[in-house]
Amino acid sequence: LLAEIDAAVFVIDCLPNLTHDEVTERTEPLVRTLRKQHPDTPILLVEDRSYSDSYLIESKRQRNQQSRHALRAAFDSLQKDGVRHVYYLPGDWLLGFDSEGTVDSSHPTDLGFWRQANAMESILRQLVGDAAHHVRWLKGNLHTHSLWSDGNDFPEMIADWYRQHGYQFLALSDHNVLSQGTRWMKLTDIENRNGKNALRKYVARFGPDWVETRTSQDGVMEVRLKPLSEVRSLVEVAGEFLMIPSEEITDKGAHINATNIGEVIEPQGGETVREMIRNNLRAVDAQAKALGRLIIPHLNHPNLGDKGISAEELAALVEDEFFEVFNGVEGDGDLGSPRRHSLETLWDITSTLRLSQFRARPLFALATDDSHHYHGGKKASPGRGWIMLRANRLTPETVL
Residue 252 lies in a domain: yes
pLDDT of 253 > 90? The answer is no
Q: Are residues 34 and 156 in the same domain?
A: no
Q: Are residues 69 and 7 in the same domain?
A: yes
pLDDT attached to residue 58: 85
pLDDT of 330 > 90? The answer is no
Q: Are residues 68 and 158 in the same domain?
A: no
Average pLDDT over residues 238-265: 95
What is the DSSP secondary-structure string of 209-232?
A: TT--EEE-TTS-EEEEEPPHHHHH
Element (H, E) at 52: none
Residue 322 lies in a domain: no
Q: Are residues 107 and 240 in the same domain?
A: no
User: Final residue of a domain: which of 115, 132, 149?
Assistant: 132
Pairwise CA distance, residues 89 & 93, whole Å: 10
Q: Are residues 157 and 63 in the same domain?
A: no
Residue 156 lies in a domain: yes
Residue 348 lies in a domain: no
Angle at 327 between CA 280 and CA 192, to 5 degrees: 90
Number of domains comprising the chain:
2
Residue 154 lies in a domain: yes
What is the DSSP secondary-structure string of 328-384?
A: --TTS-TT--SSS--HHHHHHHHHHHHHHTS--PPPEEEE---B---SS-SSS-TTS
Q: Are residues 94 and 143 in the same domain?
A: no
pLDDT tier at 116, thresholds 50, 70, 90: confident
Residue 67 lies in a domain: yes
Range of lowest pLDDT (171-175, 198-202, 230-234, 237-241): 237-241
Q: Are residues 21 and 153 in the same domain?
A: no
Q: Tell how strand 86-89 and strand 43-46 pair up.
A: parallel
User: Final residue of a domain: which of 72, 107, 132?
Assistant: 132
Q: Are residues 49 and 164 in the same domain?
A: no
Amino acid in position 14 = C
Domain housing 166: 137-182+236-300+368-399
pLDDT of 92 > 60? The answer is yes
Asked whether 105 and 61 are in contact (CB, 8 A), the reply is no
The residues, ordered by sequence, that sit 6+ positions from 385 with a Cβ below 8 Å of its Cβ are: 141, 326, 327, 328, 367, 368, 369, 370
Contacts of range 210-213, beta carbons closer than 8 Å, 24 or more positions apart: 210/234, 213/187
Average pLDDT over residues 29-37: 93
pLDDT of 148 > 80? The answer is yes
Residue 66 lies in a domain: yes
Q: For the whole prediction, is pTM greater than 0.95?
A: no
Residue 24 lies in a domain: yes
Mind listing the pLDDT tens digit for each residue in 158-182? Answer: 999 999 999 999 999 999 999 999 9
164 — phi, psi (to 5°)? -70, -15
Range of lowest pLDDT (23-32, 45-54, 130-139): 130-139
Pairwise CA distance, residues 67 & 69, whole Å: 5
pLDDT tier at 141, thresholds 50, 70, 90: very high
CATH of the domain at 93: 3.40.50.1110
Q: What are the Cα distances from residue 297, in Å, to 41, 86, 149, 276, 345? A: 44, 47, 19, 14, 21
Q: Are residues 255 and 389 in the same domain?
A: yes
Asked whether 257 and 143 are in contact (CB, 8 A), the reply is yes
Q: Are residues 124 and 155 in the same domain?
A: no
pLDDT tier at 131, thresholds 50, 70, 90: very low
304 — phi, psi (to 5°)? -55, 125
34 — phi, psi (to 5°)? -65, -40
pLDDT of 155 > 70? The answer is yes
**Residue % of the chain over a pLDDT of 90:** 66
Q: Are residues 128 and 27 in the same domain?
A: yes
Range of lowest pLDDT (67-76, 252-261, 303-312): 303-312
Q: Are residues 77 and 10 in the same domain?
A: yes
Range of lowest pLDDT (25-29, 278-282, 390-394): 390-394
Asked whether 301 and 332 are in contact (CB, 8 A), the reply is yes
Displacement of CA 72 from its chain's centroid (Å): 35
Q: Which of 156, 160, 212 is nearest to 183 (CA)?
A: 212
